[in-house]
Amino acid sequence: MTNLKMKRILFRADAHISIGSGDLVSLIHLSDYFSRSGWEIHFMLRNYDIGMSIARQYRLKKITTIASDVSVENEVSIINEYIFENNINVVFLEITERPLTEYRGLTKNVIKGCVCFDGLIPNDMDLVVNWDIGSKQLFNPSARRRTRFLLGPKYAILPISFNNKAIANRIYKKKTESVLVTMGGVDKLNLTRKVTEILIEYNLPYKIKIVLGVGYKYRSALEKMLSASGLKYKIEHNVTNMLPEYLECDVAVASGGLTAYELIAAKTPAVLIAAYKHQIKRCLYFVHKKLVKYIGFRDFDREDLIKNIQAPLIPVKSNIFHTEKIKEAIDEIMRRR
């Protein structure tokens, strides 16, 4: 028998080579904040291969898949039916494959929240989250009195594991000994190989750890190149908890996606490469705040990479993100209804 008093939240997101894995992974991380407070967690995603692999990787339990080619209109009907049948209280979306304004007709019987990066939101949205730089210029909160906005970098969705004293207590070595290379869940541009080629060329005496995402397609060629290099290296694939990796390395080379926020939260010296144009402003903002080094958009100078690995910037801040505020905002909206 269904427990009507239990609070239930449905997360709707996808992971695909065209959009990366960040949408789905970020909502999986957010779900942990609700699960810890006794909420029942549900997920719905299109059956893209990468998304399904992530669902297995994180061992999602109450998961519903919909066809990858289903129309948005039919998808809305599926979501509404699921909400009714499972007594869902909140539906939370992070969709970057298409504008959220296409999701017309979602039932009025739930609280609606979303992560939105393009400023296009339905009129009946209760909560909007955008952790990007310049997010406040995308919206007009005064014109949407029913909508709660959480805007700015401090609302980046970070894993709950980052509430860890080890971050504040970490000790930095005088010289770099270990380097982490992590370019996100898909790395469609294969920046991992580009960085690795430079590390091989300079043949520096570091321990190299490479973490590959679930959508990375070039591992075999990467392994072959590294095995012939003489470097001390280790490759990990599909790591669900990156915090130990961040804390163990002396410097990380990473893309400017959500990983950049995680590195800053972990107080890990980082060298960032923007994989997409929207990451450039983010990287420059973190440089201005003296939190990272940034070496370019896709193309970068080899010597600049090596110089910043050898003498990384030590970030001074860590406790600057407040993911838990997202759950608190939903709790407040529920109390007012």
CATH number for position 197: 3.40.50.2000
Q: How far apart are CA 30 and CA 287, in angstroms?
A: 27
Q: How far apart are CA 40 and CA 19, in angstroms?
A: 27
Q: How far apart are CA 328 and CA 324, in angstroms?
A: 6
Same domain for 153 and 21: yes
Same domain for 204 and 145: no
From residue 76, how far is each of 57, 71, 80, 107, 240 by CA, in Å? Answer: 27, 9, 6, 9, 30
- Across the range 190-209, mean pLDDT stands at 96
Q: How far apart are CA 234 and CA 227, in angstroms?
A: 10
Same domain for 177 and 128: no
Domain assignment of residue 28, given as a range: 8-158+321-336
Same domain for 124 and 182: no
- Across the range 78-95, mean pLDDT stands at 98
Same domain for 305 and 287: yes
Q: Where are the beta strands (DSSP E) in the chain?
A: 8-13, 40-46, 63-66, 90-94, 111-115, 127-130, 148-151, 178-182, 207-212, 232-237, 251-255, 270-274, 293-297
Confidence label for 185 from pLDDT (cuts 50, 70 and 90): confident
Q: How far apart are CA 29 and CA 36, in angstroms?
A: 11
Global pTM reads 0.93
Same domain for 246 and 227: yes
Spatial contact of 88 and 110, defined as CB atoms under 8 Å apart: yes
Q: How far apart are CA 73 and CA 265, in angstroms?
A: 39
Query: Would 22 be classed as within a structural domain?
Result: yes
Structural domain count of the chain? 2
Mean pLDDT, the chain, integer? 94
Same domain for 138 and 86: yes
Query: Would 111 be classed as within a structural domain?
Result: yes
Q: Which secondary-structure segment (H or E) carries 301?
A: none
Q: How far apart are CA 135 and CA 117, in angstroms?
A: 8
What is the per-residue pLDDT for 1? 45
Query: Would 315 be classed as within a structural domain?
Result: no
Q: Tell me: pLDDT of 11 over 80.
A: yes
Q: Tell me: pLDDT of 269 over 90.
A: yes
